[in-house]
């Protein structure tokens, strides 16, 4: 039987409100825990014992559980208000844990819970060898869910990299089976849509990381697929990893958003599998359309029919068995781990992917993931710190002012910088009792772009893990996770005698959109109308008449362009190849529509210009000249090796950084020394006055001797610049 969260919450809340002393509180709350939590869990987990001493001791038998044992200490209402009382209660719980654990190695398996008219959690951090107190928190629905999840965690694995690698890593039976099944479907597709999505993924992936088939050598050995097409194999691996992330995100969504009952999404999938192929496919279609996230948390863009949903076009018993296998194993995990114990979940998805794809392949593709300590250093140097938040709040006489600061990572990867920024903002909000509103500000102001579809999904999943606990209880207006599949450098434009337009190139065709539509803020409405009318089978002529009236468009050239745009969608729908392309376009325009930022941070791609696809080089080469990056000997794009990171600095300072805003990037140290970096160094020194782009270097970090990236010998630097004034020499350089 499912646990009734509302019944547990109201019962504990009433007990804390009306209990006159510690003993009365203990009796009331213990009965609720026994009757409404433990008894329900015993129906599926028969061996959870429940015992009482001078404190409540709940034990589970699983060695790899998030918590092997939970100790609950009760205090009279009002006894978790003063620091002195809190410290005393913490010390008491620690002594109980030490008594039960007997040796330090077992401390980590215990969780202490202190319940009064507030609730607090005590645990041992084995990494830092210290006891951590979380809270005291008011007794709310969210804190009661944490208590329930802690008790449920007695029989569940903690959601950490080591456990996930054991069950889902490249050596696991699940990974080998899933990747093999997906690979066979990709190389022998039944649907033209599968082929189209694969081709467009290759196009985007090539722009994101300088892909070539030669760089994937050795991948087939990792998965025992001799003679495999490694490009298709990598797409299969990405599909497997994407599905795992979506299932994890759905489980988190069910945990924090399903209201009255504490239910499991993966358990629901297992039940659907038993009911038959069509029932399971219908559940997965809702997942892949984003319906789950929209209905429960109001998130409209978590999944938008992405590239990795192709498996639904090929759905059969083999794929159904793979999905069931993943869901069944994932049901062993405690999805609340990122909230209960963020230390376990840190870098979770990033580190899992690092094992799914061999290091050499990742490095050949230019994939170097930023360690947390280095990302924290970047945020410190740019001033995105709690200390600076406190200073600004005092200066502005407004405690919400730091929440309004905007931060962007224009090449966000799996979201490392975004998640660490969120962590800092949540900590500041917690200190100032702003947790009820901080979620809204985070979603408005901490933003990421990336051109790699898998990276975008990973970043959205990490983002959801980071903010799920502050989303619950908010008004259920529609929201977006502000991570977008977009090219931060380039949105192609075309200008003719009749007007200007933007062009989004895909394997499904080139989508041309009038600039006026974007400038007037009509793009979202236009794409919604296209999706709606394609479903209703409007012809291009019927759509032209509809859109003319609906958007009040009189310009015949714009109408003709919109009719042509709709015709592409119309033909894709007839061929069974639609559903994804409106979201691709919507995402692509985010860099134009999301405004400018106070802070721009990141680790842009470390790719040489010549590694990028030829057509992309041709379409974006004018940008290099626009910022004066081609100056020096060997002027031209083909004669010297140029780092794309230098263009990222110039473009991001121009397009995304507010006046007086700051930018901090990790970039190759070679741009400060080589001939190819001459134009870039001049830009750093003088900015680009003709484009009204000011640039003032504040600091450079020489990180060459630290080798900060996993297993790599890249010569690394950090540059911190301000969009204001000119660089003054000498420039501070920290070695």
Query: Each residue of 109-130: b (16+ CB within 10 Å) or e?
Result: bbbbbbbbbbbbbbbbeeeeee
Give the Cα separation of 600 and 659 in Å (integer): 12
Query: Rounded to an integer, what distance in angstroms lies between the CA atom of residue 62 and that of residue 301?
Result: 37
Q: How far apart are CA 358 and CA 218, in angstroms?
A: 8
What CA–CA distance (Å, rounded) separates 96 from 111?
A: 10
Instruction: Taking residues 64-81, report their average pLDDT.
Output: 77
Band (262; pLDDT cuts 50, 70, 90)? low
If we measure between CA atoms, which residue out of 31, 29, 32, 27 comes closest to residue 3? Answer: 32
The position carrying tokens 């719980």 is 93
646 DSSP 8-state letter: H
pLDDT at 472: 57
Give the pLDDT of residue 318. 95
Strands 3-4 and 333-334, sheet pairing? unpaired
Cα distance between residue 2 and residue 161, in whole Å: 28
DSSP 38-100: IHHHHTT-TT--EEESSSEEEE---TTBS-SEEEEEE--TTTTSSHHHHHHHHHHHHHHHHHH
For 234-248, write each residue's pLDDT tens digit: 999 999 999 998 998
63 pLDDT above the threshold of 80: no
Q: Is residue 542 helix, strand or coil? A: helix
Share of the chain above pLDDT 90, in %: 28
Task: Say what the pLDDT of residue 34 is.
Answer: 83
**Per-residue pLDDT for 260 more than 80?**
no
What are the angstrom distances between the C-alpha of 1 and each of 34, 39, 42, 156?
A: 14, 9, 9, 17
In this structure, what token pair is assigned to residue 318? Answer: 């083999």
SS3 628: coil
- Residue, of 160 and 339, whose pLDDT is higher: 160
Instruction: Flag whether pLDDT at 446 surpasses 90.
Output: yes
Indicate the SS3 state at residue 79.
coil
Q: Which of 157, 38, 144 is nearest to 109 (CA)?
A: 157
Taking only the tens place, the pLDDT of each residue in 408-419 is 999 998 899 999
Which residue's structure tokens are 């950084």? 657
pLDDT greater at residue 376 or residue 216: 376
Asked whether residue 635 carries a pLDDT value surpassing 80, the answer given is no
Which H or E run contains 696? Answer: strand 696-702
The 3-class SS string of 122-159 reads EEEECCCCEEEEEEEEECCHHHHHHHHHHHHHHHCEEC
User: Comparing 55-69, 200-214, 228-242, 479-493, which segment has the lowest mean pLDDT?
Assistant: 55-69
What is the bridge-based pairing of β-strands 50-52 and 56-59?
antiparallel
Is the pLDDT at 344 greater than 60? The verdict is: no
Q: How many other CB atoms sit within 10 Å of the CB of residue 608?
A: 15
CB count within 10 Å of CB 638 equals 10
* Cis peptide bond prior to 212, omega within 30° of 0: no
Distance CA 93, CA 85 (A): 12
Judge if pTM exceeds 0.75: yes
What is the 8-class DSSP label of residue 262?
E
Share above pLDDT 70 across residues of the chain, in percent, rounded to a whole number: 87
The alpha carbon of residue 564 and the mean position of all alpha carbons in its chain are separated, in whole angstroms, by 35
What pLDDT score was predicted for residue 342? 60
pLDDT in tens, 283-327: 999 999 888 888 888 898 998 767 899 999 999 999 999 999 999
* Strand arrangement of the beta sheet that strand 509-514 belongs to: 492-496, 499-506, 509-514
β-partners of residue 408 are 447, 600
pLDDT band of residue 44 (cuts 50, 70, 90) is: low
Reported as a pLDDT band with limits 50, 70 and 90, residue 477 is confident
Q: What is the pLDDT of residues 142-174, one digit of tens each?
A: 788 878 877 776 667 777 778 888 899 888 999
| Euclidean distance between CA atoms 550 and 364, whole angstroms | 50
> Among 296-305, 564-573, 669-678, whose mean pLDDT is lowest?
669-678
Cα R_g (the chain), whole angstroms: 27
CA distance 25 to 14: 10
Nearest-angstrom CA–CA distance, 527 and 517:
11
pLDDT digits (tens, 9 = 90+) for 514-528: 999 988 888 888 988
Phi, psi of 538 (to 5 degrees): -65, 140
What mean pLDDT is reported for the chain? Answer: 84
pLDDT classification of 203: cutoffs 50, 70, 90: confident
Task: State both tokens at 256.
Answer: 């924090």
Work out the angle at residue 309's Cα, subtended by the Cα atoms of residues 181 and 291, and round it to the nearest 5 degrees. 135
Q: Which CATH entry fits the domain spanning 604-735: 3.30.420.40, 3.40.50.460, 3.40.50.150, 3.10.640.10?
A: 3.40.50.150
SS3 485: strand
- Least confident window among 98-107, 132-141, 466-475, 554-563: 466-475
Give kind and range of the element (H or E) at residue 685.
helix 678-686
What token pair was written down for 196?
A: 């189209």
Contact between 153 and 65 (Cβ < 8 Å): yes
Count the Cβ atoms, other than its own, within 10 Å of residue 144. 22
Q: How far is CA 676 from CA 125, 625, 646, in A?
A: 48, 13, 10
* Backbone phi and psi for residue 276, each to the nearest 5 degrees, phi listed first: 130, 165
């Amino acid at each position: 039987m499912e646990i009734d969260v509302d019944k547990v919450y109201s019962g504990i809340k009433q007990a804390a409100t009306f209990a006159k002393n510690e003993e009365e509180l203990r009796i009331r709350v213990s009965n609720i825990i026994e009757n409404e939590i433990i008894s329900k869990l015993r129906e599926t987990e028969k061996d959870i014992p429940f015992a009482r001493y001078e404190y409540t001791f709940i034990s589970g038998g699983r060695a790899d559980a998030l918590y092997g044992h939970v100790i609950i200490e009760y205090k009279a209402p009002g006894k978790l208000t003063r620091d002195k009382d809190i410290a005393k209660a913490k010390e008491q719980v620690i002594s109980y844990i030490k008594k039960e654990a007997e040796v330090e190695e077992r401390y980590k398996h215990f969780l202490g819970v202190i319940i009064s008219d507030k609730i607090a959690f005590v645990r041992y951090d084995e990494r830092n060898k210290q006891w951590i107190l979380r809270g005291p928190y008011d007794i709310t629905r969210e804190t009661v869910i944490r208590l329930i999840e802690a008790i449920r965690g007695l029989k569940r694995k903690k959601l950490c990299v080591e456990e996930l690698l054991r069950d889902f890593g490249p050596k696991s039976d699940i990974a080998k089976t899933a990747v093999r099944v997906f690979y066979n479907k990709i190389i022998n597709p039944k649907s033209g849509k599968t082929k189209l999505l694969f081709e467009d993924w290759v196009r985007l992936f090539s722009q994101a990381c300088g892909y070539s088939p030669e760089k994937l050598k050795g991948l087939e050995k990792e998965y025992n697929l001799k003679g495999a097409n490694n490009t298709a194999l990598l797409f299969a691996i990405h599909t497997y990893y994407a599905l795992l992330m979506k299932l994890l995100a759905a489980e988190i969504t069910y945990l924090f958003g399903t209201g009255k009952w504490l239910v499991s999404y993966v358990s629901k999938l297992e039940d659907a599998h038993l009911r038959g192929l069509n029932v399971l496919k219908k559940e997965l279609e809702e997942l892949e359309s984003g319906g789950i996230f929209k209905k429960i948390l109001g998130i409209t863009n978590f999944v938008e029919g992405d590239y990795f949903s192709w498996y639904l076009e090929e759905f059969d018993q083999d794929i159904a068995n793979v999905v069931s296998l993943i869901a069944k194993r994932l049901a062993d995990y405690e999805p609340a781990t990122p909230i209960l114990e963020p230390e376990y979940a840190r870098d979770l998805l990033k580190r899992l992917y690092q094992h799914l794809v061999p290091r050499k392949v990742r490095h050949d593709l230019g994939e170097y993931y930023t360690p947390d300590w280095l990302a924290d250093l970047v945020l410190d140097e740019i001033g995105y710190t709690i200390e600076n938040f406190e200073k600004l709040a005092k200066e502005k006489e407004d405690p919400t002012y730091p929440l309004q600061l905007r931060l962007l990572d224009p090449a966000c990867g799996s979201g490392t910088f975004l998640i660490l920024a969120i962590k800092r903002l949540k900590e500041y909000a917690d200190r100032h009792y702003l947790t009820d509103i901080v979620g809204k500000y985070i979603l408005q102001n901490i933003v990421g772009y990336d051109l790699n579809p898998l990276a975008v999904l990973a970043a959205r999943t990490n983002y959801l893990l980071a903010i799920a606990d502050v989303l619950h209880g908010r008004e259920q207006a529609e929201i977006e996770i502000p991570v977008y599949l977009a090219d931060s450098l380039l949105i192609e434009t075309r200008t003719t005698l009749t007007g200007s337009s933007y062009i989004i190139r895909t394997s499904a065709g080139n989508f041309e959109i009038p600039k006026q539509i974007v400038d007037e803020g009509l793009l979202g409405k236009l794409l919604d109308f296209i999706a709606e009318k394609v479903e209703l089978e409007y012809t291009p002529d019927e759509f032209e008449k509809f859109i003319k009236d609906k958007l009040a468009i009189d310009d015949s050239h714009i109408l003709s362009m919109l009719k042509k745009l709709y015709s592409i969608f119309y033909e894709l729908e007839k061929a069974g190849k639609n559903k994804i392309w409106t979201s691709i376009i919507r995402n692509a325009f985010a860099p134009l529509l999301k405004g400018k930022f106070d802070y721009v941070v990141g680790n842009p791609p470390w790719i040489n210009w010549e590694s990028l696809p030829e057509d992309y080089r041709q379409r974006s080469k004018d940008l290099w000249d626009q910022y004066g990056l081609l100056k020096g000997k060997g002027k031209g794009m083909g004669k010297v090796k140029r780092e794309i990171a230098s263009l990222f600095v110039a473009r991001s300072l121009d397009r995304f950084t507010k006046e007086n805003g700051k930018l901090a990037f990790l970039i190759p140290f070679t741009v400060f020394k080589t001939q190819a970096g001459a134009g870039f160094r001049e830009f750093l020194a003088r900015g680009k006055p003709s484009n009204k782009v000011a640039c003032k270097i504040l600091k450079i970090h020489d990180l060459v001797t630290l080798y900060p990236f996993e297993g790599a010998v890249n010569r690394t630097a950090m540059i911190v610049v301000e969009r204001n004034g000119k660089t003054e020499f000498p420039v501070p350089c920290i070695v």
